[in-house]
Amino acid sequence: MAEFTVSLSYEKAGAPWGDNARLSFTETGAVIHLADESPNERAISQAARKLDGLNLAGVTLTGEWQKEQQWAFALSFTRARNPASIEWADNSDKATLAQEYAALLFTRQLVNDTPEDLSPETLAQRAANWLQELGADKVTYSMTVGEALNDAGWVGIYNVGRGSERPPVMLELDFNPTGDSEAPVDAVLVGKGITFDSGGYSIKSSEGMLDMKCDMGGAATVTGALGLAITQGIQKRIKLILCCAENLISGHAYKLGDVLTYKNGVTVEVVNTDAEGRLVLADGLMAATETGAPLIIDAATLTGAAMVALGSDYHGVFSMDDNARAQMLEAAQQENERFWPLPLEPFHAERCPSAFADTANSRPMKGGGGGGASNAAGFLSRFVNPDGKGWVHLDLAAAYHGSPTPEMPVGATAKGIRAIARMLHNFK
C-alpha cells in the first residue's frame, strides 16, 4: 500500500478547496495550510483530527516540520482505538520524537484500557514490567497487596480498596542507575491509581461514572514520565510509588463517618467516599517523604474543581515551595505543555474541619465547596514535610477527554509526561 504523506505549506489552498481551507489533498496525501510561519500548532491539531477521521493505517510526515509541530500532530492524530502509525519527518528530531511517542502510547493505552482489564494489581504490574524493560537491572520493585497494606499501616489505600474483590496495591519501584544501594534518592514520583471510581457510598451518577476508568491517570502519567526520562538517559536515582485501588460498594467497603488513623498520627474523618484520591495519595506521600528525596511530585486526576478552574486544557500546579513551583512551570513551558499555578497556603490544610478527627477528607457539600482543588492540596500537605519544601502536587485536569474536541481525540491525552521528565532532569 502506498504511503499517505502529510506536508506543511505556508501558501493558501487552491480555490476548489474553499476560502481559508486548512487542508487540501494531493494524489499521495494531504497538505496542511498554515496562515504564517509561526508554529500554528492549533491549526495542525485541527487538521490532524480531520485526517484521523479518514481511518488511515498510517501517515508519513514529509518536508519541513518543526519538532513541536510534529508533536502537535501526533497528540491529535493518535486515536484511542487502533491508532495509525506515524513516520516522522526526516530531520534531527526523529529519535527524540520516537522516545516521547513511545511513552505517550504506553500512557494513553494504560488509561484507555477497560476497568475490567486493569485491576489494581494489573496496573502496578504493567507499570513495573514496562519500566524494567526500559531500565533492565537498574529497576527493582516490590508490591504490598490487600491485607498486607493494613498490616503495614497504609490505611488510605487499604480502606479505599477494601470494598472490591480485587485487592488494593502499593507499588514501590526504584530506578537506581548508580549501582549503589546506599545512594541518595534524587526524586520520588507518586501517582493516584484508582482503576475505577464508583464514588463508593457517595455514589456517582451513571454519566459521572462512565469515564472513571481514567481515575488512574496520575499513576499512568508519572509512570510514562519516568519511562521517558529513562530512555533519555537520566542518571539520577528516582523512586515511583503508585497507590492503586478500585473504589467500589460492598459489605466490606469503607463508609461515611469512618475515621482513619494514618502512620504519621493524623486522623481523618471520611465525609465523602468519592474524595478517595487524596486518601490513597496520603500514604504515597508519606512513603515518599521517608526517602528524604529533595523532590516529590504527585500527580492525580483529583478534583472536579480543578477542571472548573482550568477546563481540560491545563494541569493545575500546587506547591508551598516557590522554587519547586517555578521549576515545574518552567519545565512545562520548555516542553510546550500547559500547566498553571493554583493557590496553596498553610491555611488550606484547615479547610476541611471535623469534630471527630484532625481533619475531614473533604467538606460535606457538592464538589467539596469553593476552592475544592486547593483544599484537597491542603489535605495532602499534612503528609509531607511541614513546610512543603520540594513537593509539587499536580491536579491533572487535562489528562482525559470524555468526548472528542476539534483538537483532541476522545480518551487519554498523556499531557504532562514530557514536563515531568524534564523536571526530573533539571531540578536543583
Q: Which residues are catalytic?
A: 204, 278
> Parallel, antiparallel, or unpaired for β 296-300 and 187-197?
parallel
Backbone angles phi, psi at 57, to 5 degrees: -80, -30
Reported as half-sphere exposure (CB side, CA atoms, 13 A), residue 131 has a value of: 32
- CA–CA separation, 15 vs 100, rounded Å? 38
Q: Cα–Cα distances in Å, from 46 out to 38, 60, 303, 311?
A: 16, 17, 28, 18
- CA–CA separation, 318 vs 105, rounded Å? 27
Q: Do residues 247 and 199 touch, judged by C-beta distance below 8 A?
A: yes
Q: Give residue for cell 514529509.
A: 62
- Cite the beta strand spans of 132-271 per DSSP E: 139-145, 169-175, 187-197, 238-247, 259-261, 267-269
Backbone angles phi, psi at 374, to 5 degrees: -70, -35
- CA–CA separation, 267 vs 382, rounded Å? 11
Q: Identify the CA nearest to 410 among candidates 35, 6, 59, 52.
A: 52
Q: Is 141 helix (H, G, I), strand (E, B) or coil?
A: strand
Amino acid residing at 391: W
Q: Cα–Cα distances in Å, from 290 out to 15, 180, 189, 338?
A: 65, 19, 13, 31
